Amino acid sequence: MFDLGMTELLVVGVVALIVVGPKDLPVLFRNVGRFVGRAKAMAREFSSAMESAADQTGVKDAKQAFKMASNPLGAMSDSFKKATADLDADINSALEVDMGAETHTYDPDSETGKLAAERAENTKKIQAASARAAAERKAREAQEAMAKAEQYEAELAQVSVGTTDADAQGTTEETGPKGADKSS
């Protein structure tokens, strides 16, 4: 609308801060926001009023006729898309497919009913196989994690045993005998 970049907004904000002051700046921004909201609402209302007036006078029909005359392929494509969407909606409403409850309104003895039953059975098999594979993977990962934890615990136990043995002998890695410095 106004094509303001970040730097322009920053300059406007600094000027507003200096002119208005930090105490009254939130009130100013709140009032500006209300004004912008009212302006958008008025623009939206004006636009919808103009569209309804155009619909009543038949401008939309003239626009469609002009579009069809100037670009018959595009108009045909639009009408094809609309027909496809209408057909899709009709099919979906006729089947009344509820994916969560798996309910259908077609005859179970028909080919469509048999295919739907077969697909539902295959879907359940796939879901069961996926769940089994996920459970097996999780069990395998849990076993691997347990083995790593035991390995780390064993290493930690060896390190702590080695440290207590070295302390008992009175030496450390850095200083040698207790109290003696390696550098001397």
Q: Is residue 66 part of a domain?
A: no
Q: What is the number of structural domains in the chain?
A: 2
Query: 17 pLDDT exceeds 50?
Result: yes
User: Rounded to two decimals, what is the model's pTM?
Assistant: 0.31
Per residue in 68-95, pLDDT (tens digit) is: 777 777 766 777 777 778 777 777 666 6
Domain membership of residue 49 as a residue range: 7-59
Q: Is residue 69 part of a domain?
A: no
CA distance 128 to 121: 11
Residue 155 token pair = 């290493």
The pLDDT value given to residue 47: 92
CA distance 171 to 184: 16
Q: Is residue 84 part of a domain?
A: no
CA distance 163 to 171: 10
Would you call 28 exposed, middle or buried from its count of C-beta atoms within 10 A (0-12, 13-18, 19+)?
Answer: middle
Q: Is residue 42 part of a domain?
A: yes
The pLDDT value given to residue 94: 62
Q: Is residue 81 part of a domain?
A: no
Q: Is residue 65 part of a domain?
A: no
Q: Is residue 123 part of a domain?
A: yes
CA distance 170 to 184: 18
Q: Is residue 177 part of a domain?
A: no
Per residue in 97-150, pLDDT (tens digit) is: 444 445 556 677 788 888 888 888 898 899 888 888 888 988 899 899 899 989
